[in-house]
Structure 1
Amino acid sequence: MLKKIVAVVAVLVLAVSFAGCKKKEEKPQLPAGHPPMEGGMPPSGMPNMPKVDRKVIVSRDVKAKWKAVKIGVEDKKAKINKEYTINVGSELAIPNTKMTVKVLNFLPDFKMTDTEFTSASDKPNMPAAQVVVAENGKEIWSNWLFSLQPGIHPFQHENIGLMLVGGVSK
């Protein structure tokens, strides 16, 4: 008889514990007029965000003070680093490769707004160069290189590494 009572109590305890696990949680109520909050943020940043085209504005002061940039080129296979001076608007054929680097713009104090890239001053507080890299005549990369933050938008290639060393004043 005692075994039957213990068995019944055990079954009741299990039934109550399973019923407790199935309790439905209530979602917090949103204020009236608030849009539903479903979905959340897309994974890995915001891949679905539209690309914003910004103009590059280089002031007269910056153009008057800066004429070129120094780019460090790393040959990953030969493990050799060389520094080259490239005038703004000019192109460098990287030796022993079929690659070129063209410097479109140099901003010594890089500043980005909703509509433009510009320089906050003519001082080298955050030097950045807008460059285009081509291989076999075909553009493979177009972006900004930052001398103080080389990890932002780095050029990635199996044989060559690029780094902005800094600007060259007139």
Structure 2
Amino acid sequence: MINIVLFEPEIPANTGNIGRTCVATGTRLHLIEPLGFRLNEKAIKRAGMDYWDDLDVTTYIDYEDFLEKNPAAKEKMYMATTKAVHVYTEVNFEPDCYIMFGKESAGIPEEILVQHKENCIRIPMLGEIRSLNLGNSVAVVLYEALRQNGFAGMNLEGHLHRLEW
């Protein structure tokens, strides 16, 4: 199972949307505190809609707590950052990897990034754009990881509601 890690997320709607994406893809969500909101806030539930109760989510008091409780993350973690040299399509995502995203206002701290230079990845953008929305960034990278792993266990065919193809 692929793991999405949010380092100190600040905006409840982003986390709610990411939670919904995780439910839709069978992905586990890890939230590293402090959070910029409470998990019982209406905004997070609204964005996650009625899927939040189905979400596999764990919170951690800090980054060290996360690493202690997820030792595999030390070997299989990719860090999404606008500061990376590698593009997210240049790495091979393992089926049980961890993909970390930083908080909306500042990203992942550079003190963490410098310890993982080869596993830092970026989404290409034009010009001087600082970053994409966090929910969009998670979706872009997560679906590349899922694609690389053959969309294991996912529905690959769509069905019309009233008509037939």
Q: TM-score normalized by structure 1?
A: 0.20
Q: Which has the higher contact order (CA 8 A, sep 6+)?
A: 2
Task: Name the one with the larger strand percent.
Answer: 1
Q: TM-score normalized by structure 2?
A: 0.21
Task: Name the one with the larger helix percent.
Answer: 2
